Structure 1
Amino acid sequence: MGETIVLYPSHLRGHIVSMLELGRLILKRHPRFSVIVILSSASAAAAAPTLVANSSSITVLHLPPSTAAAAEDKQTHFDLARHDASNLRLALAAIAAAADLRALIIDVFSDAAFPVAAALGVPTYYYFTSGAAALAAFLHLPTLHGSTTKSFKDLGDETVNIPGLPPIKASDMPWDVLDRSWRMYDYFLDACRNMSSSSGIIVNTCESLESRIIRVIKEGLCVPDRPTAPIFAVGPLVESKVDGDEGGGDKRERRHECLSWLDSQPSRSVVFLCFGSEGRFSAAQLKEMASGLERSGVRFLWVVRPPPQDASAKSTSGSNDGDDTSIEKFMPEGFLERTRERGMVVKSWAPQIQVLSHGSVGGFVTHCGWNSTIEAVHAGVPLVAWPLYAEQKVNRAFLVEDTALALPLSMSNEDGFVSADELAKRVAELMVGSGEGKVVRERVLAARDGVVEALSDGGSSQISLAAVAALWKRG
C-alpha cells in the first residue's frame, strides 16, 4: 500500500464530512499517499453510503462494535472513542504491518486515540474542524482552568481574555466546558493538552480569513507554559458533494423544490434561515421568528425543525423530524398565506450549499456553526449571527467583532430569546441597509476572494498542506 495516512474522525456527521474532504484534498494534491479513514461503530448511522459515495479513492474501515460502549447509558462524544481504543489499536497495528504508516490524523473528540498512537510510535496530528478562533479558545483552556476555581457558567458576564480574540463573556465559552464538574470538561482539558503535545494541528481555515489569530497561536500566546504544536491552516474545506444527504438514505435524485422557488426570485433578494442539524427553537420562538420575517418585508427561505419536547427557547436535544406534524401549527395564524408570494418555509432540511450558492440568496441567518460559516463565506453571502450551542458564541465574536462578516442579534440573557422586532431590523439591515449591513456585505465579498486565493495553486492553504505533507514524507 506504500506511504499511508490514516484519518480517524469522531462519529458526528459534520466532522466525518470535513475529515473526508481533508482526505480528498490530500489525495488530490499529494497522490503519492494512500488514505485510510477509520470509522467508529457509532459512525454507522452518520456515515451512510451517500456520505462516502464520492470517496472511492479513500479506503474506509469500520471498527467493530464495542462491548464496553453498550454497558454505559450516558456517553459523551469522547466516551465513544475511548470505548473503541482497543479495536483502534488492533486496526492501526494491522495497517502498520501491511503499509508504511506515516501519520494518524484524529478529531478532537477522538482524543482517546492519542495515547494509542503514541504507544505504537505513530506521529499524531489533530484535525480541528472548526476555525482558529475556537482553536485559540480551546488551546487556552488549560491556562484559564489554572487561573480560577470557578466554572465559566458561574462567572457569567465576567470577561474572559483569550489571546487573538476579542474579549468574551465567560458564559460565551464553548458549551461543553461551561461547568468544570462535567465529565466533558475534563475530556476537553485532556484533549487541549494533548493537542499541544501532538505532531501538529491541521485547521479548517485559511490565513486570509483568520491571519491574526493564526499568528497569535503560532507565537505560543495561547499555550504560554509549553511549546505549541505546529499549525497548518489548509482550508476552508467545503463539502464537495452539493447534494449531500442529511441523515442517510438514498441519494436525492430530484432537485429540491426550494431551488426551483429560488429560480423565480430576484438576484440577491432572499434571506436564508437555517440552524444546523441540531438547532431547534421553542414554539414561542418560532412564532416570534415568523412575525419578524413578516415585518421585515424581505423575501425569505426558512428551514424549520419541529420544537423540542421541553419548553426552552432553544435546544439541541431530541429528534422528531420524522413525525407528520405540520409546520403550519407552529406559525402565527395566516402567516404562510400572507407571505406565500415572498417566502418559503421548508421542514427540517434543505440543500444548504446549493442554496447559499444560488444567485437569489443575499443573506444568511445562521447558528454560526463553522461548516455553515465557511460555506457562506465561500459563496460570498453575508450573515446574521444567532449562535445556539457548542463553540458558536466564540465564532460569533470572531464574525461580528473581529471581522465584521456578520450582524449581531440582541438576545435575552435568560434564554437567548430574540424578539420579532430585532430579527426584522437585522434582516432588513443585512439585505438592504446602507450602514452596518453594507459594511458586512462588502467584507464578506472580500473574504470570499481571499478564500478562493488561499485554496488556489500557490495559495496559503496549499502551501500549508505541502508543509505538513513534507513532514509525512520524511517519516
Structure 2
Amino acid sequence: LLITTNEPSPAQDQLLSSSHLPPDLHIVPLPPVEVDKKIINDGDVLVLTRLCVITDHSLRSLKSVLIALGKPNALVTDIFATQAFDVCKELLIPTYVYVTTSAAFSAFMLYLPKLDSDVNCEFIDLPEPIQVPGCSPIRTHDLLDQARNRKIDEYKWLLHHFSRLPLASGIFVNSWKDLEPVSIKSIKESPFFKQIPTPPIHPIGPIIKQEETLSVVDVECLKWLDKQPPDSVIFVTFGSGGTLSFEQQTELAWGLELSQQRFIWVVRKPTDSTGAGTFFNAGEANENDPKVYLPEGFLDRTQGVGFVVSSWAPQVTILGHHSTGGFLSHCGWNSVLESIVHGVPLVTWPLYAEQRMNSTMLVEDIGVAIKPKMEAGQQTIVGRKEIERVVRMVMEGEEGKVIRSRVKELEESATKALDSSGSSYESLSCVANYWKANHN
C-alpha cells in the first residue's frame, strides 16, 4: 500500500496504526515532497486542488519506488492519481483504478470529457438534466460542487483525471450488480462507453470497514445502545469531515427532540464555511464541549432518549447494532454501503462532493432512503418540523416500513455478492487469476 505522507490526517494515522490491518499488508510511504506553501496555507485553495497537487508531487518518486519493490504484478490507483499510468506504462505494469464511490458516478466520470466538449455554458445552467448514456438523468442541482464552475482549478483537475481513465487496464468499483444493475450494465454494454473505449469495469463491492478500535467514550455509547429496543435508535452523523452551520445544527437539535425518537448524534463544532469544513483534520479530537453548540437545556431534556458524542463515533459498530433502526447521513458512499450492508434505512443529508447525486439515487432508484424537502440547489436551512417529519417517517411511518423492507433485501444481496459464488467475488477472482497468469 503506497501512501502519501504530506498532510496526513489524524484519521489516516489512526488507520495505519490500527492492529486490525491484515498482517500481509505492507505500508510503503512515498517520500515527503516540497509543496508550494500557498497551496497548504491558503484558505481559498479548495480541498480537491490541495489533494491533487500533493498527490501529483508525491508521485514523482513512484518509478524509483516501484523498481525498488521489484515491479509488482499490477498497481491499483486512486482516481486522482492517474499520473501513475505513465510510469506503469514505461515499466510494463498493468494499472487499475479503484473508484470508491458508485457505478453511477463512475459513468458520469467517463462521460464528463464528452459533456465538456459538447456544452459551452455552465452545466448548472443547462435547461434539462444531464443524460449519461444508459443511466438515470442527473439533475443539474445534484452535480458535485467541483463541476458547477468550469473556470475553477478544482474542475480542471477533475476533467484532467477523468479524461485519463480510459488509459487504465481496468476499473474497480465499490458496488455490486444487484445494487446498481442499470449503471453497471450501461458501462459494460452501451455503445457510447464501448466507443471511448472504456476499460473493463469490475464491481467488487461492498467493501466496508470491518473492525474499529473503541475508546472509552465509544464503549459508553455502545453500553447505552445495548439498553435500547431493537430498531429504535436513529444514528446521526455527517462523516469524517462534514460540518453544519450553527443555525442548521440548532434546527437539527430541535428536530430530533421534537421527533421523540431515540438517537445517537455525533456533534462537531459548527462552521459557516463549507460542508467539508473538517476534511483535513478528520478524526481529530474536539476539546470543546458539545453543550456550547446545542440549544440551552437540550442535553437535559433529551437525557435517556439521546446520546451525544463529540466529533467521532464507531460508525460501523453502531450501524451493526440491533438497536439501530435509522441513519441520518451525509451520503458519502462508504457510509451508504455500511448502512445497506447492515440493513439500516437512511435519511439523506448531502453536504459536498457527489453526495447529492448519491442522495437522489438512494431515494429514487434504489429505494432505501427518505430525503428532507430542500429547495433545489440552494444552501437552505432544513427546519425543525421537516426534520421531525422525516425522522418519524423513517423510524415509525409507513414509508419507513417500505424502505426498511427494501434495505433488508439488499443486505442479503450484499452478503451473497461477496460469497465464493457471488458476483463481486467472481469479478475480483477473474482479475486476480489474470494477474497470476501473466506474472513474470
Q: What TM-score, normalized by structure 2, do the two folds share?
A: 0.91
Partner of 2:50: 76
Q: How many pairs are equivalent?
A: 425
CA gap of 1:226–1:255, structure 2 versus 1, over 3 A, is closer
**101, 119, 131: which one aligns with 1:148:** 119
How far does residue 466 in structure 1 lie from its aligned partner after superposition?
1.0
CA gap of 1:404–1:323, structure 2 versus 1, over 3 A, is closer
**2-side partners of 1:116 and 1:70: how far apart?**
27
Partner of 1:170: 140
CA gap of 1:225–1:185, structure 2 versus 1, over 3 A, is farther
Partner of 1:201: 171
**145, 152, 162: which one aligns with 1:182:** 152
Letter in 1 for 2:208: V
Contact 2:113 2:163 in 1 (8 A): yes
**Which of the two has greater strand per residue?**
1
Alignment of 1:3-402 (within 5 A): 37-42=1-6, 44-45=8-9, 46-48=11-13, 50-51=15-16, 52-53=18-19, 54-68=21-35, 72-73=39-40, 74=45, 75-95=49-69, 98=70, 101-155=72-126, 158-220=128-190, 223=193, 225-243=195-213, 252=215, 255-308=218-271, 310=272, 314-316=275-277, 322-402=285-365
How far does residue 88 in structure 1 lie from its aligned partner after superposition?
0.9
Higher mean displacement: 290-299 or 376-385: 290-299
**Deviations along 1:225-260, whole A, 9 cap, x unmatched?**
4211101111111112233xxxxxxx7477521111
Contact 1:160 1:169 in 2 (8 A): yes
**2-side partners of 1:290 and 1:188: how far apart?**
36
How far does residue 444 in structure 1 lie from its aligned partner after superposition?
0.2
CA gap of 1:316–1:68, structure 2 versus 1, over 3 A, is closer
Quick check: 1:460 aligned with 2:429? no
CA gap of 1:132–1:43, structure 2 versus 1, over 3 A, is farther
**2-side partners of 1:421 and 1:410: how far apart?**
11
Contact 2:85 2:167 in 1 (8 A): no
Contact 1:105 1:124 in 2 (8 A): yes
CA gap of 1:255–1:349, structure 2 versus 1, over 3 A, is closer
**2-side partners of 1:182 and 1:459: how far apart?**
43
**1-side partners of 2:135 and 2:306: how far apart?**
37
Contact 1:256 1:351 in 2 (8 A): no
**Deviations along 1:96-155, whole A, 9 cap, x unmatched?**
xx35x2111000021221222122221110001112121112111112112211223444
**Which secondary structure state, in structure 2, belongs to the residue aligned with residue 275 of structure 1?**
coil
**2-side partners of 1:62 and 1:178: how far apart?**
34
How far does residue 76 in structure 1 lie from its aligned partner after superposition?
2.5
- Quote the sequence identity (%): 37
Higher mean displacement: 360-369 or 290-299: 290-299
**Which secondary structure state, in structure 2, belongs to the residue aligned with residue 223 of structure 1?**
helix
**Deviations along 1:53-89, whole A, 9 cap, x unmatched?**
3232111111111124557444521111210222111
CA gap of 1:255–1:292, structure 2 versus 1, over 3 A, is closer
Contact 1:152 1:171 in 2 (8 A): no
Contact 2:6 2:33 in 1 (8 A): no
**1-side partners of 2:194 and 2:416: how far apart?**
32
**Deviations along 1:340-378, whole A, 9 cap, x unmatched?**
121111111110000000110000010110100000011
Partner of 1:13: none
**2-side partners of 1:67 and 1:455: how far apart?**
42
CA gap of 1:178–1:401, structure 2 versus 1, over 3 A, is same
Letter in 1 for 2:4: S
**2-side partners of 1:259 and 1:252: how far apart?**
11
How far does residue 287 in structure 1 lie from its aligned partner after superposition?
0.8
**1-side partners of 2:278 and 2:216: how far apart?**
30
**2-side partners of 1:389 and 1:456: how far apart?**
33
How far does residue 207 in structure 1 lie from its aligned partner after superposition?
0.9
Partner of 1:11: none
Contact 1:133 1:164 in 2 (8 A): no
Partner of 1:23: none
Contact 2:205 2:424 in 1 (8 A): yes
Letter in 2 for 1:204: N
**Which secondary structure state, in structure 2, belongs to the residue aligned with residue 272 of structure 1?**
strand
Letter in 2 for 1:61: V
Quick check: 1:418 aligned with 2:376? no
**2-side partners of 1:172 and 1:255: how far apart?**
34
How far does residue 161 in structure 1 lie from its aligned partner after superposition?
1.6
**362, 372, 379: which one aligns with 1:409:** 372
Q: What TM-score, normalized by structure 1, do the two folds share?
A: 0.84
**Which secondary structure state, in structure 2, belongs to the residue aligned with residue 228 of structure 1?**
coil
Contact 2:327 2:339 in 1 (8 A): yes
Show structure 1 runs of 5+ residues with no match.
Answer: 1-36, 244-250
Partner of 2:403: 440
**1-side partners of 2:192 and 2:246: how far apart?**
41
Contact 1:159 1:170 in 2 (8 A): yes
CA gap of 1:71–1:122, structure 2 versus 1, over 3 A, is farther
**2-side partners of 1:255 and 1:324: how far apart?**
16
Contact 2:134 2:190 in 1 (8 A): no
CA gap of 1:255–1:385, structure 2 versus 1, over 3 A, is closer
Letter in 1 for 2:86: P
**2-side partners of 1:122 and 1:65: how far apart?**
24
Contact 2:35 2:54 in 1 (8 A): no
Contact 1:235 1:461 in 2 (8 A): yes
